[in-house]
A = this chain, B = another copy of it.
Amino acid sequence: MRVSTDGRLLKGEQTRNAILSRAADIASAEGLEGLSIGRLATELGISKSGVFTHFGSKEELQLATVRKAVELYREHVIEPALAVPQGLGRVRVLLDAWQRYQREPVFPGGCFFHSTMAEFDARPGRVRDAIASSQRDWRDFMERCLREARDRGEIDASADVPQLAFELDAVCRTGSAHALLHDDPTLYDRAARAMSTRLAAVTTSG
């Protein structure tokens, strides 16, 4: 984290950050295309050109917003897991942090990545690539945690880690999506139950 002594650059960076925070919130609810520069300007009380010049193009704003969301995701989901020792304990912390991230209004419109992934699925370009890459990173991290637990003998040696990671991912994100759509928080619980029984099925009964 380079800290500039130049007050101008400092001021610039902090408004840029304010823009991106708001942008991530909006995009989680209205999508990265629904994100508009004019709206950001109005809501933040700055001029349209003031917002624009920070990014140079809408696509660049979208990419920066994805990076900001990744940062928030890391902070709320990844870091709590990294703070505890490897193994099944870390897996549990990871899944807990993940569910908390879904429930708490980290993003007001539900998981940023669920929304934008569905939006950019079929829309080639740099934004899609960035989202896809973030999803690969997430999957890799999840698999790594599971593998660490397996290497410790806390998860069955025969367990198919990628498959397990995929299934845990599926139920958690789908549960959150349904909870939001139907405004029914018990659907989070349904996802939680699916995750814990799925995990219990592969943990060694030591």
- Seen from chain A, the residues whose Cβ lies within 8 Å of a Cβ on chain B are 28-31, 33-34, 108-110, 114-115, 117-123, 128, 131-132, 135-136, 162-163, 166-167, 169-171, 173-175, 177-178, 180-182, 187, 190-191, 193-194
Bound-state Cα–Cα, A128 to B180, Å: 11
What's the minimum C-beta distance from A138 to chain B, rounded to whole angstroms? 11
- Asked if B132 and A108 make an inter-chain contact with CB atoms under 8 angstroms apart, the answer reads no
Complex contact A170–B181 (CB within 8 A): no
Say whether B122 contacts A108, CB under 8 Å.
yes
Contact between A166 and B190, CB atoms less than 8 A apart:
yes
CB-CB under 8 A for A181 and B110, given A30-B123, A31-B31, A166-B190:
no
Q: Which residue of B lies closest to A166 (CB)?
A: B190
Which residue of chain B has its CB nearest to the CB of A178? B135
Q: B163 contacts A193, CB within 8 Å?
A: yes
Residues B180 and A121 in contact, CB atoms below 8 Å apart: yes
